[in-house]
Amino acid sequence: MDAQAVLKQTFGYESFRPGQAEIITKVLNGENVLALMPTGGGKSLCYQIPAVMLPGITLVVSPLIALMKDQVDAANETGIPATFINSTLTFPEMNDRISAVQAGRIKLLYVAPERFESPAFMGMLGQLKISLIAVDEAHCISQWGHDFRPSYLRLADTLDQIAGHPNVIALTATATPKVADDIMDRLAIPRANEVKTGFARDNLAFQVVKDQAGDTFIVNYLRANPEQSGIVYCSTRKEVERVASMLAKKKIDCAIYHGGLGEDERRQNQEDFLFDRVFVMVATNAFGMGIDKSNVRFVIHDQVPGSLEAYYQEAGRAGRDGLPGDAILLYKAQDLNVQRFFIDQSEMADDLKNAEYQKLQEMNAYANTQDCLQQFIQAYFGETASACDRCSNCLDDREQQDVTVDAQMVLSCVMRMDQHFGKGMIAQVLTGAHNQRIATFHFDKLSTYNLMSNRTQKDVGHFIDYLTASGLLSPSAGQYPTLSVTADGAAVLKGEQTVMRKVTRKVASHAPVAKD
Ligand code: ADP
């Protein structure tokens, strides 16, 4: 039976999705492959079809123990004999499963990466015929990814020790070019075997909503979209609880999910949402990885997440069924501080912390760009694309205004401050603030001091964010980024380049979206 026949007979599907046929052909040819596909793109099939066709066992390495049971149940329902071995099993259960695997009754074996650290497990693997190793959520292997896991890093070394050197398929929906390179290096995947199907999600409408009362937006949105399934993501448990009680006061039902809840409560709430007993889930990022709920119509981020990778992965849980979905980011500059705090408190080495701060800056640039949002995300993942015509920036029909002179004021102020200061201080100097630091550095003597006295510090701060998102200013790495003028910024200063910005206040009529 060929792959096409398995697709039809085992899975009941007529045709392959983009990328699937190419990936499966390579895998069946015994090549190592990296599959980069968007969420909902159909990654599982890329190893499940080979699992059916190859003589031995396919090992699936997945970081999410909590989801293994569901994945195994789904595979068994499809008719692929599958099981998992992880730390949730009792010793007798584990032995039963190992016997089933050894007796050749299993085609798909799901394991967590930590398993490979057990000599007993490695010993058992030595006696089996392993045909393929599928490394799911492969971005976890890279320190440059947004969800690095040390057990994945060790995995790369251990795979080499498996008898027969089975070939590897790595799968992820979220890898920048740097992360993809890292995965390929670590798992010995030739560059030519990177199969990318394009990260665009043509059915999602991305929106950035700035400096509006977030609660009011959420309430209005939920009331305007009753009985639509969706997720509201918050950065902290406390904020989940706050948003949930705010919604309760407005008589809007929701379930909550975060790491502070008991296991039973989490499972109950998750099921209420999955089975449409409740439409809205308010959660931290503990919720959602690997959850295959196809009819999620919207994902609202109540707070800015730490990176565009995390954002795209979470937002991408909307519209997995291919029908339209909304991906809305409620942006408040102060929410960046929550993420800075997470980075600062983490125990990462300094260079990794700096990489995290840099990702946060990219996230901030996404929130402040006036270019197509989908295009911005794709560029981040190394793709070129045309404008989506659906996002809040593409639909923003305010007039463009020439703000070159304002931009020159900011850029020359940055130069005069020797490019050693951050956004807040630059905005203070431009608006003529009086404080000790300004006096100490004699910034009140600069010709750019008080040059924007007719604007508020907050407004100038937004403008600086816009210039940064437009690539005229470049933030340094680190917790308190200082801004320097880029080559494009220098061209603006010399009058060789103009700067346009949409600035008139106008509320869009199609949805409760407002601009700064
Ligand atoms: P992800 O890439 O996010 O892991 P999944 O493998 O869970 O995506 O696939 C998403 C959904 O698409 C699943 O319900 C799956 O059965 C379905 N699917 C995958 N491949 C095809 C196909 N070729 N035709 C139709 N549906 C498919």
**Count of CB atoms within 10 A of residue 219's CB?**
17
Q: What is the dihedral of CA 370, 374, 377, 382, to 10 degrees?
A: -120
Q: CA nearest 383: which of 198, 203, 201?
A: 198
* Amino acid 291: pLDDT: 75
Rounded to two decimals, the pTM is 0.81
Three-state DSSP string of 329-382: EEECHHHHHHHHHHHHHCCCCHHHHHHHHHHHHHHHHHHHCCCCHHHHHHHHCC
- Whole-number Å distance between alpha carbons of 147 and 406: 40
pLDDT of residue 290: 63
- Angle, in degrees to the nearest 10, between helices 308-315 and 373-380: 120
Is any atom of ligand 1 closer than 6 Å to the C-beta of 321? Answer: no
| Interatomic CA distance for residues 289 and 216, integer angstroms | 28
Q: What is the dihedral of CA 265, 271, 274, 277, to 10 degrees?
A: -90
User: How far is residue 270's CA from residue 282's CA, in Å, rounded to a whole number?
Assistant: 11
What is the C-alpha to C-alpha distance for residues 317 and 325, in angstroms, rounded to an integer?
A: 9
Which residue of 10, 14, 15, 17 sits with most ligand 1 atoms within 8 Å of its CB, as the best mutation to test the pocket?
Answer: 17
- The runs of H, that is alpha helices, within 371-433 are 373-380, 404-416, 423-430
pLDDT for res 165: 84
Q: Which of 8, 13, 36, 139 to mutate to test the pocket of ligand 1 (most atoms within 8 A of CB)?
A: 13
CA of 469 to the centre of ligand 1 (A): 35
Element (H, E) at 158: helix 150-159
Q: In terms of DSSP H, where are the helices of 442-501?
A: 457-469, 487-493
ipTM above 0.95, yes or no: yes
Residue listed under structure tokens 């010995």: 188
For 266, the token pair is: 């989490």
- Token pair 């006061």 in the structure block, residue: 249
Closest CA to 382 of 174, 140, 213: 174
Q: Name the closest-CA residue to atom 23, ligand 1.
A: 16
Residues present in the chain in total: 516
Closest among 151, 97, 155 to 128, alpha carbons compared: 97
Does the CB atom of residue 461 touch ligand 1 within 6 A?
Answer: no
Q: What secondary structure does DSSP assign to 20-57, as a single string?
A: HHHHHHHHHTT--EEEE--TTS--HHHHHHHHHHSSSE
**AA identity, residue 457:** Q
Q: Is 60 in the pocket of ligand 1 (CB under 6 A)?
A: no
Integer angstrom CA distances of residue 477 from 80, 481, 484: 48, 6, 11
3-state secondary structure 273-301: HHCCCCCEEEECCCCCCCCCCCCCCEEEE
Q: What is the pLDDT of residues 348-359, one digit of tens each?
A: 888 888 889 999
Cα dist. 476→420, 437, 463, 468, 471 in Å?
9, 20, 18, 11, 13
* CB 199 near ligand 1, within 6 Å: no
Ligand 1 close to Cβ of residue 459 (< 6 A)? no
What pLDDT sits at residue 162?
A: 83
Q: pLDDT tens digits, the chain, 516 residues: what are they?
A: 799 999 999 999 999 998 999 999 999 999 999 999 987 789 999 999 999 999 999 999 998 777 788 889 999 999 999 999 988 888 888 889 989 998 989 999 999 998 888 888 888 888 889 999 999 999 999 988 777 888 888 888 888 888 778 999 999 988 889 999 999 999 999 999 999 988 888 899 999 998 788 999 999 999 999 999 999 999 999 999 999 999 999 999 999 999 999 999 999 999 999 999 999 999 999 998 767 788 999 999 999 999 999 999 999 999 988 899 999 999 988 888 899 989 989 888 888 888 899 999 999 999 999 999 999 999 998 888 889 999 999 999 898 899 999 999 999 999 999 999 999 999 999 999 999 999 999 999 999 999 999 999 999 999 999 999 999 999 988 778 899 999 999 999 999 999 999 986 544 444 444 444
**How crowded is residue 514: how many other Cβ atoms within 10 Å of its Cβ?**
15
Distance of CA 380 to the CA centre of its chain: 11
Q: Exposed (0-12), middle (13-18) or buried (19+): which is 66, by Cβ within 10 Å?
A: middle
pLDDT tens digits, residue range 221-272? 999 999 999 999 999 999 999 999 999 999 999 999 999 999 999 999 999 9
